[in-house]
Structure 1
């Protein structure tokens, strides 16, 4: 076999590749120009391409778009609140001396009047105080009956001082200050005011230490409600104005007492306290309520309140590490727009930067838009 015959297949293959390259049309290699109708993809400020949905798809996904309207933040403000006992109408029933529980006169949940007996205790120290008070009273009556003609002024003064000291000791132990009854060491703690017993730690026969709380007595005719608001809103709530507390669908009127002068380090919220007349015993400590305030149109420094835009809180989502709201752009597509949020008032959030009045934004179905964008992004990748 000659060398020419061995190289013929190789030369034929090379010739065929060259002919194929020459026959390829240049128009198939170039992308369509803008004049030919190609739409170059764009990305939003958040780095994700917008999505365009027709009306039927938006309706099916529950997506609603509305134009933002400016509003002065003088409308009714809504805030979560918690019912607290009125501390000014709360008393802790505690002994001031070591004692033994002899008998109870009230139990948890009872409504008692002022001066009602609550618990009877027994104490050796109280027995000594009762005896000293009895002796001091007897001595005072004796020297007083003799008069200054028979008893020196010094002796009368000593008897008076001894009686005062014995009475003070007895009253410190919860005794009435008079030597009534026997000196057996028993004494009864009574209710300092009318109210309901909300805590009961009395066990008959138990030996208790001074200062242990046996009963918690609360006047529930008036309760407190602590409402939590962003610190920037609190200065617009005026003490003495009316607030509405809503619990189980019922609206109760209250009065703003004062705002707290401290902002929470974790939530950045401050507390506004409302005093609420508790008619028919509807509210109890620990209940969660909604509170509505009529905020002032004028800031605390006298300047007019600033007009702001706000969106439903559900319209604000996190996307690629940014806080965004979906806005309809000039082409009709929905694009994620980074925003800087302000206070959350009720179910709406103030937008400080990123949007302006007239912008059409998604107010319902923001998470459906986010899901569609992420789906499209995954498809491209």
Structure 2
């Protein structure tokens, strides 16, 4: 039996587990709700459990592109820009034409392929019995080499088939540079008519569904971080969840900090490369402790209280002694045992109903 005292108005007090008014009107300290009322109140139960208590390291960070989902698109052979098909900022699909290029080497190889294909078709129709094995194999190898050369230049199988269907009229050396992945074009530094050397990037295509955030931490703090640790990115009045990918094992000589890289889901396209953000990285501190979510605790007579599930829709307020608060969890030092069912969500609703019952409104 617990003794409670509440200042809810003149003459209201609680003694020996029973609420009473000065007029001797009694009300039970235990609330009882039917299933419909429990559902309507949005009550969610949980069992008190030990959990690792974590602290957060704070650091500045910068949003970077996810290099694992970023592609540079460049020609593989000396070419000239004929026509632009896409523009900066466009979303493109895999296989979509980005720019039309023209190359003398491509034109020569296309002509060689057309002739080799025609020669091969004649010999293949005659069959290996009608021609020498050497001539048969030479025709096939010449056709295959020309095809492989165009593939090496960056033409797709579909583009090669289009050349064969179009014949000599199609062998003009023009070809479309195709996007290898789906994403957004974040750079396209060239102009129409410009001659492009092999390997020069024409486009940067980024899948913006994920980004990296590079945080700079003092070496002592970075040493507490491990791959897989949870992190939060604070930007635009919003906290974005992330996961630590890696931490550098080298200290920057200029800033005397260590880099910690965090992967962040950016499906809403809220974060963009170059932005400065605040980083919070969760790190384990000490042993496991009994803790409940902060929303499970209410104040009754300035006493932190949780509602304990007594079964059959009965909820009893239980005073607790609290400790530290970290990431929305409050340590419980006394008043609640491991395994005890308590109200995780809906404690404020139960508090309101309890106060109304004391006032005779329920």
Fold-level match, TM-score > 0.5?
A: yes
Measure, in 1, the Cα distance between the counterparts of 2:120 and 2:99: 32
Mapping of 1:248-287 within 5 angstroms? 248-287=236-275
Measure, in 2, the Cα distance between the counterparts of 1:269 and 1:100: 45
Aligned residues: 228
Contact 2:229-2:283 at 8 Å conserved across structures: no
Mapping of 1:136-155 within 5 angstroms? 136-155=116-135
Secondary structure of the residue that 2:251 maps to in structure 1? coil
Residues 177-236 of structure 1: CA distance to partner in whole angstroms, max 9, x if unpaired? 425231001010011111111112231122222222221111111111111111222232
Contact 1:238-1:296 at 8 Å conserved across structures: no
Measure, in 2, the Cα distance between the counterparts of 1:226 and 1:155: 61
Over the aligned positions, Cα root-mean-square deviation in angstroms equals 2.1
Dislocated runs of 4+, deviation >3 Å: none
Q: CA deviation at 1:152?
A: 2.8
- In structure 2, what is the equivalent of residue 187 of structure 1? 175
Contact 1:245-1:252 at 8 Å conserved across structures: yes
Among residues 122, 131, 134, which one is paired with 2:114 in the alignment? 134
Query: Mind listing any 5+ residue stretches in structure 2 that lack a counterpart?
Result: 1-52, 288-362
Among residues 92, 95, 99, which one is paired with 1:112 in the alignment? 92
Residues 151 and 238 of structure 1: is their aligned pair in 2 closer, same or farther, counting only changes over 3 Å? same
| TM-score normalized by the length of structure 2 | 0.59
Structure 1 window deviating more from structure 2 (251-260 vs 205-214): it is 205-214
Among residues 79, 82, 86, which one is paired with 1:99 in the alignment? 79
Among residues 138, 150, 169, which one is paired with 1:170 in the alignment? 150
Secondary structure of the residue that 2:146 maps to in structure 1? helix
Q: Highest Rg: 1 or 2? A: 1
Among residues 281, 299, 308, which one is paired with 1:293 in the alignment? 281
Contact 1:260-1:272 at 8 Å conserved across structures: yes
Measure, in 2, the Cα distance between the counterparts of 1:75 and 1:256: 15
Query: Mind listing any 5+ residue stretches in structure 1 that lack a counterpart?
Result: 1-72, 304-381
Measure, in 2, the Cα distance between the counterparts of 1:85 and 1:251: 19
Q: CA deviation at 1:92?
A: 1.4
Secondary structure of the residue that 2:134 maps to in structure 1? helix
Residues 188 and 251 of structure 1: is their aligned pair in 2 closer, same or farther, counting only changes over 3 Å? same
Contact 2:209-2:267 at 8 Å conserved across structures: yes
Measure, in 2, the Cα distance between the counterparts of 1:118 and 1:156: 39
Among residues 116, 123, 135, which one is paired with 2:103 in the alignment? 123
Residues 131-181 of structure 1: CA distance to partner in whole angstroms, max 9, x if unpaired? 112222222322222222112333332223222321221112221242523
Measure, in 2, the Cα distance between the counterparts of 1:251 and 1:74: 17
Measure, in 2, the Cα distance between the counterparts of 1:146 and 1:297: 80
